[in-house]
Amino acid sequence: MPDTLHDYLYLASQSPRRRELLTQLGVRYELLLADDDEDAEALEAVQPGETPDDYVQRVCALKAEAALRRRERRALPDAPVLTSDTTVCLGGRILGKPADGADAAAMLGALSGGTHRVLTAVTIVSTTGMRHALSISEVTFRPMQPAEIERYVASGEPLGKAGAYGIQGRAAEFVERISGSYSGIMGLPLFETAALLRQARLQF
């Protein structure tokens, strides 16, 4: 395989946090977002009996395959493609993005006063092949009063976020302790991502 050095990559993610984290690493990127006719949400459907660990890695790999097809369809120049997927789990239960405010409040109520896991998978595809990494972190929330949850949900921040919260936002006040990767909890574990990028021959 060609031993090509790359100076940028394609980021197949709408997450502003992932863009910020790549910029923090000094990585140049171009967005490679889904077309209107792509059913991106269908990729995130949970299969019966699937564990959270298997789920997040499978979805991330599917996103990478879809992004590769997108790059080829658009006849874009060759460069590595990065995808990532984050899920929150409580026991074996996957807490995805809340459907509405009531769903967000129920998730936050379940997380209150306990410890849950945050799993973030990363996939990078380049001329050297497809590589994967999985970051596993634990987050402990202090007990939260119903009125606190209500105010947080009313802020709109929980919507669109796995587990109904963003650790880099207002939810930080609920976090008593974390064990693992803070950037992984945000959505892109920088230690694992940097290692994959070096393997993919990316200069940064």
Q: Is 100 a catalytic residue?
A: no
| 3-class SS of residue 44 | helix
- Bridge partners (DSSP) of residue 82 are 11, 124
Going by the DSSP 8-state scheme, the letter that residue 184 receives in this structure is H
CA distance 28 to 10: 9
Name the E strands within 50-190: 81-90, 93-95, 115-126, 129-141, 175-179
Phi and psi dihedrals of 135, rounded to 5? -105, 130
For residues 161 and 83, give the distance between their C-alpha atoms in angstroms, rounded to a whole number.
16
Catalytic one among 35, 53, 85, 103? 85
Instruction: For strands 81-90 and 9-11, give the pairing.
Output: parallel
- For residue 70, count other CB atoms closer than 10 A to its CB: 18
- C-alpha angle with apex 21: 19 to 25, nearest 5 degrees? 115
**Residue (of 40, 101, 28, 29) closest to 66 by Cα position:** 40
- Catalytic residue set: 85
